[in-house]
Structures are given as C-alpha cells and as structure tokens.
C-alpha cells in the first residue's frame, strides 16, 4: 500500500513538470529537424503561465465544468496506472475523460470546435479497440490486470509475448497524443483547415488546464510503453527508460515527417494495425 501511495503522489506532483519539459523538448527537437533553432525547452511552462494570467472568455459557461472534468479524469487515469491498480479500469477512465473533452468541444456550437469534437469521436473509434486489446494482452501474458502485478511478475519481459500489441499501441499512441499524421481534431499550430479544432473556443485558464492535462497524458502513455519492458528486475527498469525515450523520439520524428491524413485513412489504418498486429498476437497467446 505504501509503495502504491508513493508512486501516486510522485505522479501527481511530478507529471506536470515532466510532461511540460517533454513538450518543450519536443518543440526544440522538432525545430532542429526542420533546420530551426526553436524555442527554449521551458517555453511550454511560460505559455501556460501566460494563459493563467489571462481572463477566460466562454461562449458557454458549461464548458468550464467539462474541461475541468476532462482534466480530473485524465489525472485519475494516470493515478490508477502509477498506483498499480487495474489497467482495464484506468483505460475506461481515460475513455470517460475523452467523452468530457468531446462534450466541451460540442457545447459551444462553434463550427470549428464542433467539427473538432466530431473528429475527436472518430479518433476514439480508431484507437479504442487497440487500447482494449492492450489491456487484454497484458492479462493473457501475466494473468492479471493489476499494473503492479504485471510490473513485478518476473519471467520474460512482456514485450517478448506482446510484440504485436506493442506495435499496435505505438501506432494508436500517435493518435492519442494528437500528433501528425493523426492530429485531425486539433493541432498545436493554428494552421489547419479547422484552425484549432476542438480547442478553438478554449481560452485563458481553461486552455491552460487543457495543456496541463496533455502533460499528464504524455507521462502515463509513455509509462504504458515502459510497462512492456519491466518484469521486476532492476535491469528491466533501465530497459524501460531506454524504450520510453526511443518511443517518444519516434513519435516526434513521425510528427515532423508525415503529412496529416484524412479521418477515413486514419480509421482504415488503425483498424488494420489493430486486427493484424493486435488480433494475431492475442490469438497466438490463446494458442500457447
């Protein structure tokens, strides 16, 4: 119980700083890939600080409640994962968070925000099957949904038994992080056909809360990548850190080298990867 409490408190306190640093580092690396110097790695913190200094303007007052609820459930998802509780419950909590975000984008009746909310729903249709298969895969590989039990199970690393699940999760992680080529519901840059999409009508502190939510999300999604590489051995945690670093760099590379796809292409490609890599991996686990 004490271990679970320490990890939970550590996540709640450190995740926004780690996530904000990752966002700044991402912008820096992305700029270098494009031949630019880029902003400071601390720029993300400055941007959010500036947002909280502004006055929030809402088209619909109910949006504040929905954005705060989105933030709460995102944080709750990470807390469940880092506390070592049920992975399936954590993923269902993440789905609940996404529904509050969709509602926040839909309640303003802005055409750009509403279109972004519709596309967020399409993104959920694209990644949810693989998210569920990920939880099922860990259960079949370890015999438990409990994250702490999975991380201390011993024996082979989960990645050895779940290579297809890992590939599928990495694919949908790009969608979940809203990175190109799957940033169809919103963009970190206001230069797409729906401007800022689902976040168009968010401003001031509410937009700042959304950004912090994304920081928390970056941390626990990256932690899921690390879960594929831990088995209780101290060396496995080193492998997990290396895997998480490489995985996040790959996400940045994909984001800066791929053009945005249409929602039809996103659905087709994500379901193909889910069925081929995730589905076959699950069948193999059942057979052996």
For residue range 25-49, list pLDDT tens digits in order. Answer: 988 888 888 888 888 889 989 999 9
Tell me the Ramachandran region of residue 273: left when phi exceeds 0, alpha when psi lies from -120 to 50, beta otherwise.
alpha
Mean pLDDT of 274-287: 91
Q: How much is the mean pLDDT over the chain?
A: 88
Cβ–Cβ under 8 Å, residues 150 and 157 = no
Q: Using pLDDT thresholds of 50, 70 and 90, give the confidence band for residue 215.
A: very high
Q: Quick check: helix, strand or coil at residue 137? A: helix
* Distance from C-alpha of 56 to C-alpha of 39, rounded to nearest angstrom: 26
Contact of 19 with 219, CB cutoff 8 Å: yes
190 or 276: which leads in pLDDT: 276
- Cα 154 → chain centroid: 27
| Alpha carbon distance 195, 208 (integer Å) | 18
Report CA 56 to chain centroid distance, whole Å: 26
pLDDT, one tens digit per residue, over 256-273 is: 888 788 888 889 999 999
Whether the Cβ atoms of residue 130 and residue 276 lie closer than 8 Å to each other: no
Q: What is the pLDDT of residue 192?
A: 58
| Residue 146, number of CB atoms within 10 A of its CB | 18
Read off the tokens for 253. Answer: 């590379």
* Mean pLDDT confidence for 68-93: 93
What's the angle, vertex CA 68, arms to CA 78 and CA 13, rounded to 5?
40
CA distances from 221 to 39, 45, 51, 207, 215 (A): 25, 20, 25, 21, 10
Q: How confident is the model at residue 191 (pLDDT cuts 50, 70, 90)?
A: low
């Amino acid at each position: 119980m004490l271990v679970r409490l320490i990890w939970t408190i550590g996540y709640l306190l450190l995740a926004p700083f780690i996530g904000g640093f990752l966002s700044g580092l991402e912008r820096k690396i992305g700029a270098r890939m494009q031949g630019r110097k880029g902003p400071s790695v601390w720029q993300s913190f400055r941007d959010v600080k500036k947002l909280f200094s502004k006055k929030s303007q809402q088209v619909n007052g109910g949006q504040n409640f929905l954005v705060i609820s989105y933030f709460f459930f995102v944080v709750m998802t990470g807390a469940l994962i880092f506390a070592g509780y049920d992975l399936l419950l954590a993923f269902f909590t993440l789905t609940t968070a996404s529904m509050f975000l969709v509602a926040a984008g839909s309640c303003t009746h802005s055409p750009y925000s509403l279109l972004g909310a519709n596309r967020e729903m399409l993104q959920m249709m694209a990644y949810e099957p693989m998210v569920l298969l990920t939880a099922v895969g860990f259960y079949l590989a370890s015999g438990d949904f409990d994250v702490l039990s999975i991380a201390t199970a011993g024996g082979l690393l989960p990645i050895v038994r779940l290579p297809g699940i890992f590939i599928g999760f990495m694919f949908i992680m790009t969608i979940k992080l809203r990175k190109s080529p799957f940033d169809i519901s919103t963009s970190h840059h206001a230069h797409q056909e729906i401007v800022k999409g689902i976040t168009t009508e968010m401003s001031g502190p509410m937009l700042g809360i959304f950004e912090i939510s994304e920081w928390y999300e970056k941390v626990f999604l990256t932690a899921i990548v690390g879960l594929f590489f831990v088995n209780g051995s101290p060396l496995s945690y080193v492998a997990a850190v290396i895997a998480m670093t490489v995985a996040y760099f790959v996400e940045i590379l994909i984001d800066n080298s791929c053009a945005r796809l249409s929602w039809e292409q996103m659905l087709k490609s994500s379901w193909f990867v889910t069925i081929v890599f995730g589905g076959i991996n699950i069948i193999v686990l059942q057979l052996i």
